[in-house]
Structure 1
Amino acid sequence: MEMFISNLFEDMPWLAYLLVPGASILLGLAVRWILFAIFKLYNSKKPSVLKEELLTHLKAPTFWFLPLLFTYLTLPYIGLDSFWHKLLEMLIIVNLAWLFITALGALEEAVKHTFNVDGVHQAKERKVLTQLRFMKSIAQVVIATIALASILWNIPTAKQLGETILTSAGVLGIIVGVAAQKSIANLITGFQIAFTQTLKIDDEVVIEGEFGTVEDITLTYVVVRTWDWRRLVLPLNYFNDKSFVNWSFASRRLIGSVYLYVDYTFPVAELREKFLKLLKNHRLWDKKEADLLVTDSDSRAMQLRATFSAKNATDVWNLRCDIREQLISFIRENHPNALPKIRMVDLQAV
């Protein structure tokens, strides 16, 4: 084959340098188009979320992979310098790493889609999502490291540099050891979080006095989205060193409460009836817990506590605000004289 091409382009070798790689690129694109068409046809007959995500995510990396591979395979037949062989090898390695990383992204999206059909992540599902996110990050680092090592292995000067570094391994080891302490601590904390499940994707937490939802967990930090859409970015080892409140550790369901203060003359039973009626017609109440009790008293008023449950922290907060507003309105409109008051005695009249 090599002899045939050499004889064919004996008088114009530069033409071989253009036509052979060009034909290889076109052939690679044609094969890619055929493979994608077959895969799309297969997906149309037996559709699945994973196949759909693979088609979407792998579109870009496969656009380059087959043309590069076919070009690399035809280079020996046109007698190009070894430089071009090395360059194409490195490009193929980079493209393969890109392909594997995007395939991991497709897998993650497929799992997220499966668990997000009803729009609510339960504890077991959030556990899987957290572990998947962490393992994906680890896999991406491993793939990138292998790709970088493979590229450096193809560069002679990089090999010499590696030998030079190894001669000073003692000093370098100390420097790297000190620099890597926090990274290693973060990695260990990441494993603990992923598999002990103290923190999961979509958990509702209170950190540094801020309420929010865990939006992302990476190898080095956690992103918490607060109620006003700000983002708290905290290093992973923060969760080993400091305590935090996780409102959805085992279940999202929570009990909320509203405190009211009324005069001793106030008819508590009437307010209790009104409270239960309000809850019964409220879309946020999960119909699990509901009560209104006199929980304290002092010299001028009684303390009433209305308690109720809801399916998550956001619903508890909104239900609390709504119930508080309606109960206060009921007292003001129906028993204005029962609002807390200070009794004064005219000593001259005694």
Structure 2
Amino acid sequence: MDTVLWAISVTLGAAVLALAVVAVVHRVARRLGRRSVLLRELSDHAHRPFQVAMTVLAIEVGVRATGGEFAGRDVVLHLLVLAVIAAFAWLLAALALVVEDVAVSRVRTDVPDNLRARKVQTQVRLLRRVTVAAVVVVTFGIMLMTFPHVRAVGASLLASAGIIGVVAALAAQSTLGNIFAGLQLTFSDALRLDDVVVVEDEWGRIEELTLTTVVVQIWDDRRLIMPTTYFTTRPFQNWTRTGSAVLGTAEFDLDWAVPVQDMREELRTLLEGSQLWDGRVCVLQVTDAVGGMIRVRALVSANDAPTLWDLRCLVREHFVGWIRDRQPTSLPRVRAEVGDGANRLAWQWVRPSTAHDVRPGRRDVPTEPDDDARVFGGSPEGEARAAEFEGPPERSDPDESRT
């Protein structure tokens, strides 16, 4: 009886001492955590697993050192060993998660240029899942290896590992493909959290990215859940691949009588008075002139896709009213002309205008469009945009250069 009481007292004392040490370490970490993000995260998220791991370890050491021989001693020690393994696996996973949280906290996503932050956040979230899965698998394997019978059949399991691997690969081909696709998306920067994409003719943002699925939050708050292999095998639009600023168009089918230059000046006035415009691109061009009407396209820019949507709608609404009230003759219409008895039409007697005569003899007529009529040129942004779509510079012939 004295031996049993002594063993129980020593074991409980070891557990209490372990709890006291953990409490002291926790208090010190919280105090130092006022200056260190890492220590603050450790004190908040690793305290409980550290407490459990140290307590279970103290109990196991106490029982092994003072328990002596008693009925069921091997079973109790084996259970304590399993508990120690599980507790330290919990602690290891908590420490890995703390490190990942600290890495995420060092980058901010509430800034306009948050590409790097979203990249780090995406990679950390995928690594978090991989880390937890790896810790669970390794822990389960270590716990199984504590059983003598499992170690005895290990050789036979390794001998048949080739066959089992082939069967498992065939059975989990789709799952493994999604997992590798998720890792490929994460570390190739092809897709990140909060990226704005167009998938299956749906416009939305990447809300969640896991090893097997991608959740796209569509603009009307629906969710499109797709396998990760979709984004590695099929094309999709990523509007925020290198930046959030984008270009958009508003098109109008109008009559040939529309004053294009006046419309161009009206677009500039509208954008300069709107907070939705980012000041980069303001271009109005005639992109088509067939079928009795011309197509006028307004090209505008904004800081992000939602703002661009509102800006495009604003441009359309404004010009609907402007054309209706200020330029009613520019509305689309179908003409029917009737000639006289000699089949002569009235427009044949109108003297042609020379306002748009660009022949060399007329020097007073400019032949170069202004900045608002050019997408590729006319401004530093337009020149840079044109350079992106130009081919490599032509090499000069060495023989010609010598002559």
Is TM more than 0.5 here?
Answer: yes
Q: State the AA in 1 paired with 2:31.
A: L
Q: Structure 2 vs 1, CA of residues 196 and 87 (structure 1 numbering), >3 Å: closer, same or farther? A: same
1:62 aligns with 2:54: no
List aligned pairs for 1:309-328, cutoff 5 A: 309-328=301-320
Write the deviation string for residues 107-133 of structure 1: whole angstroms up to 9, x where unpaired.
333333332253445333333333333
Higher relative CO (Cα under 8 Å, sequence separation at least 6) belongs to 1
Q: 1:298 aligns with which of 287, 290, 296?
A: 290
1:195 aligns with 2:187: yes
| Bigger mean CA deviation after superposition, 124-133 or 307-316 | 124-133
1:78 aligns with 2:67: yes
Q: State the AA in 2 paired with 1:243.
A: P
Q: Give distance in 2, aligned partners of 1:157 and 1:231.
A: 49
Quote the offset at 1:307 in angstroms. Answer: 0.8
List aligned pairs for 1:69-148, cutoff 5 A: 69-76=57-64, 77-79=66-68, 81-116=73-108, 118-120=110-112, 122-148=114-140
Q: Give distance in 2, aligned partners of 1:297 and 1:124.
A: 45
Q: Residue 258 of structure 2 aligns to a residue in which SS?
A: coil
Q: Give distance in 2, aligned partners of 1:181 and 1:173.
A: 11
Q: Give distance in 2, aligned partners of 1:299 and 1:176.
A: 62
**For the pair shown, which has the larger CA radius of gyration, 1 or 2?**
2
Q: Residue 106 of structure 2 aligns to a residue in which SS?
A: helix
Q: Give distance in 2, aligned partners of 1:291 and 1:209.
A: 26
Q: Which residue of 1 aligns with 2:30?
A: 40
Q: Give distance in 2, aligned partners of 1:326 and 1:107.
A: 52
Q: Which stretches in structure 2 are left out of the alignment for 5+ residues?
A: 344-403
Query: Identity, % of aligned pairs?
Result: 30
Q: CA contact under 8 A between 2:203 and 2:219: conserved in structure 1?
A: yes
Q: Which residue of 1 aligns with 2:261?
A: 269
Q: Structure 2 vs 1, CA of residues 105 and 335 (structure 1 numbering), >3 Å: closer, same or farther? A: farther
Q: Structure 2 vs 1, CA of residues 333 and 90 (structure 1 numbering), >3 Å: closer, same or farther? A: farther
Quote the offset at 1:257 in angstroms. Answer: 0.8
Q: Residue 315 of structure 1 aligns to a residue in which SS?
A: helix
Q: Give distance in 1, aligned partners of 2:91 and 2:145.
A: 21
Quote the offset at 1:27 in angstroms. Answer: 3.1
TM-score normalised by length of structure 1: 0.83
Q: Give distance in 1, aligned partners of 2:36 and 2:56.
A: 30
Q: Which residue of 2 aligns with 1:256?
A: 248
Q: Give distance in 2, aligned partners of 1:51 and 1:283.
A: 44
Q: CA contact under 8 A between 2:284 and 2:297: conserved in structure 1?
A: yes
Q: Structure 2 vs 1, CA of residues 261 and 173 (structure 1 numbering), >3 Å: closer, same or farther? A: closer
Q: Residue 33 of structure 2 aligns to a residue in which SS?
A: helix
Quote the offset at 1:198 in angstroms. Answer: 1.9
Quote the offset at 1:168 in angstroms. Answer: 4.9
Q: Give distance in 2, aligned partners of 1:336 and 1:292.
A: 19
Q: State the AA in 2 paired with 1:33.
A: A
List aligned pairs for 1:146-165, cutoff 5 A: 146-159=138-151, 162=154, 165=157
Q: Give distance in 1, aligned partners of 2:133 and 2:292.
A: 65
Q: Residue 115 of structure 1 aligns to a residue in which SS?
A: coil
Q: 1:280 aligns with which of 268, 272, 289?
A: 272
Q: Which stretches in structure 1 are left out of the alignment for 5+ residues?
A: 1-5
Q: Structure 2 vs 1, CA of residues 340 and 20 (structure 1 numbering), >3 Å: closer, same or farther? A: farther
Q: Give distance in 1, aligned partners of 2:113 and 2:171.
A: 38
Q: Give distance in 2, aligned partners of 1:281 and 1:88.
A: 73
Quote the offset at 1:213 in angstroms. Answer: 1.7
Quote the offset at 1:90 in angstroms. Answer: 1.8
Write the deviation string for residues 116-154 of structure 1: whole angstroms up to 9, x where unpaired.
253445333333333333333333332222111111112
Q: Give distance in 2, aligned partners of 1:322 and 1:101.
A: 52
- CA-based RMSD of the aligned residues comes to 3.0
Q: CA contact under 8 A between 1:115 and 1:121: conserved in structure 2?
A: no
| Bigger mean CA deviation after superposition, 155-164 or 86-95 | 155-164
Q: Which residue of 1 aligns with 2:382?
A: none
Write the deviation string for residues 35-61 of structure 1: whole angstroms up to 9, x where unpaired.
1110111122x243x333333322332
Write the deviation string for residues 15-42 of structure 1: whole angstroms up to 9, x where unpaired.
5676555444433333222111101111
Quote the offset at 1:306 in angstroms. Answer: 0.9
Q: Which residue of 2 aligns with 1:31?
A: 21
TM-score normalised by length of structure 2: 0.73
Which portions of structure 1, spanning 4 or more consecutive aligned residues, are displaced by more than 6 angstroms? Answer: 346-350
List aligned pairs for 1:210-225, cutoff 5 A: 210-225=202-217
